[in-house]
Structure 1
């Protein structure tokens, strides 16, 4: 399989030379991308198919079609020591940062020690995630597959459990030697194991690595006695996690990552394609929100993610245009700050007084300030090397005629150390004073 790599918003020209992709291969990838939930109404939300090239948009991950795969990585500015001197070493560092963001957003505790430096450089994001999943599942199975008591029915020569009277006098009216029994038995064929078996089966089809495919087939053999259920028919809401199987929660979260929403298998006539994709706007929002909550947990502040729910308009008691701010910070029950995350690059103030912030975003923050009576609202962006100042507040304004502060701020996701504390520094000093 021919592999190509691209950063979001970059172009991959058509051709047969270095850094180019043959147009027939590009068309296969575009066909798979159009089937993604992120494709949008114009079907160009993942890949734009232009006259001389394809262009990645704000979605990252891996797209695979027969004979070709494309890995799209986010644009993250790395410290000089991590960026390395080659594209391969730079991509390896970005994969690390992206998997860290996924781990935080999904509440996963991923041990990346088993992933070697060479793996970060040579394997795609998809194969690295599959490797981590296979390692965690292998370790969990060594401790035993989870089991639960399930209700069963069977016709037995001796009574087990309780007698099903209705079935006994209908099915066995002429054969009283068989008893219609209802009983509970400890079984491994439960919803959780069916989900994990379905995940193993799908990943074996997705990976381009023969070694990983072999490991997944070994894991599938362990699940041989578990019922086969198609991903669309899995009963996720019936999974029961308690003290006996709490250790499986992370594997369940990874299964959701592979099988629900952001992963799909598409069959297109004779061609088949797979895609594991992440919308960076949503991932950045989840990542930042959870780290802020972690950073201020001992301060007395309350952090609400995707909360609020107030309406912009009232129509005779019926609310219209409901709002869902990304992050609400409360002190003593009062909103002291609203934060909205934006995965896009702002410009330095010396270049543009508005920093490239859209008018719609400003209007949105003014609405939040009004509805939630927030004295401070913040648009938070990823930091990049083009900004003249360090990460933190980049510009601060007041709403005309009011003391409400509207600010733009940035956080350097390429610098992974101390992210929670650095984000808390954007919130705590003023929040404590206002509280």
Structure 2
């Protein structure tokens, strides 16, 4: 029986007995050691999963999602955004919205009310969404495909394999070497679904998910599980006949760790879904902008057309702003940061980073030719409810710092930007 531990970003974990909160928790010695090992592998890859503080404490970094250890400890890491109310429920709901918007997933919840009362941990929610999509797919009908079979039979079936028949020894001349096609569900898409379903069957602890997964397992009894996930995903067809398979593909990728910004690799095959919170917030803002931009505006994510400098007839240090908006002959550069600001703390520069300002200044010089509007977007908080006064770089280049309301899903004070001025 696994143990579920719910914490949030930057929480501290220890092997000692402590009163559990969202900011600190006790884990088993085996889970502690496994996290240390994973931290070492992440650090070699250029990412930081945890920070080791002595022999008894670990501090999580800015990753959210679910991490499952071989000993059965399931660590649910939520965004650190709420300070009042039921932070666990609110943060879990926020994380689901972030994942849906960021990966363009379509949940199959029956109503908004069902989403509100569904307070299972993130991994159970992902598995529940996958099972609901799979159940819907099976009811609509799975796609079968023809598969060529070459075998030996006592009777003719299909086409006689003349070459193989001529090579038959005299004692087996009464057998026929035949080839024929059979109509089966053994195709790349179904094999991936079967593998994801098997993983859910062995992982889920929610009674409803367990019951539905085993029912569907019986339906897919004759479908083999995928033996090569990457090859089968490449073979996943997207033509008109396979259109009803598209809604389940992102959930299948989540279960099989194919669409994760960070996925725990190795022999342990538990459900581990880790997202860099900075990247989730960036894609969340991007999704809102794509829905909300005025007519005629074009949004480019991760623009990469400009470089910081030239050197020996070549260019160096590519500049890649999160978001670049063009409308008519004007451009706007927007960057999102998952960080807490305080509009009342002028002495500490509101929590703003000087390096971020250097970065935006370079964007403004190259993408806006030194004139125009730059935007830094941060999550709204109790002490950051409205746009800060503009920061003037001189020469007609200004930087705005705007709050993004995570609950209302909108950027506040957009009226200060010329991009939205006539919208």
User: Same-fold call, TM > 0.5?
Assistant: yes
Partner of 2:60: 56
Distance 1:336 1:25 in 2: 53
Confirm or deny: 8 A CA contact 1:399 1:406 kept in the other structure: yes
How far apart are residue 226 of structure 1 and its match?
A: 2.0
Over 3 Å counting, the alpha-carbon distance change for 1:276 and 1:29 in structure 2 is: farther
Distance 1:196 1:427 in 2: 47
Distance 1:283 1:306 in 2: 14
Deviation string, structure 1 residues 3-27 (Cα, Å, up to 9, x no partner): 2221112324542243141551551
How far apart are residue 283 of structure 1 and its match?
A: 0.9
Partner of 2:235: 238
1:407 counterpart SS class: strand
Partner of 1:41: 44
Partner of 2:397: 404
Over 3 Å counting, the alpha-carbon distance change for 1:23 and 1:142 in structure 2 is: closer
Partner of 1:267: 267
Partner of 1:358: 353
Distance 2:245 2:134 in 1: 9
How far apart are residue 192 of structure 1 and its match?
A: 1.2
- What number of residue pairs does the alignment pair up? 401
TM-score of the superposition, structure 2-length normalised? 0.83
TM-score of the superposition, structure 1-length normalised? 0.81
Say whether 1:367 aligns with 2:367.
no
How far apart are residue 110 of structure 1 and its match?
A: 1.1
How far apart are residue 282 of structure 1 and its match?
A: 1.0
Partner of 1:324: 320
Partner of 2:343: 348
How far apart are residue 203 of structure 1 and its match?
A: 2.4
Over the residues paired in the alignment, what is the CA RMSD in angstroms? 3.2
User: Where in structure 2 are there 5+ consecutive unaligned residues?
Assistant: none
Deviation string, structure 1 residues 292-316 (Cα, Å, up to 9, x no partner): 01111x5210111122332223334
Deviation string, structure 1 residues 346-391 (Cα, Å, up to 9, x no partner): 232543363222222112111111221261111111111232xx24
Say whether 1:18 aligns with 2:19.
yes
Partner of 1:71: 76
2:217 to 214, 217, 220: 220
Distance 1:434 1:318 in 2: 41
After superposition, where does 1:2-401 map in structure 2 within 5 Å?
Answer: 2-19=3-20, 20-22=25-27, 24=29, 26-28=31-33, 30-31=35-36, 33-34=38-39, 39-41=42-44, 45-51=48-54, 52-65=56-69, 66-77=71-82, 84=85, 89-113=86-110, 115=114, 119-120=118-119, 123-147=120-144, 149-150=145-146, 152-154=148-150, 157=156, 168-169=162-163, 171-174=164-167, 178=176, 181=179, 186-209=183-206, 211-230=208-227, 232-259=229-256, 260=258, 261=260, 262-264=262-264, 266-267=266-267, 274-296=271-293, 299-332=295-328, 334-348=329-343, 350-352=345-347, 354-373=349-368, 375-387=372-384, 390-391=385-386, 393-400=387-394
Deviation string, structure 1 residues 212-264 (Cα, Å, up to 9, x no partner): 33432332332222222246444212211233332321210111122214444
Distance 2:415 2:224 in 1: 50
Deviation string, structure 1 residues 119-149 (Cα, Å, up to 9, x no partner): 41xx3111122112212211221111123x4
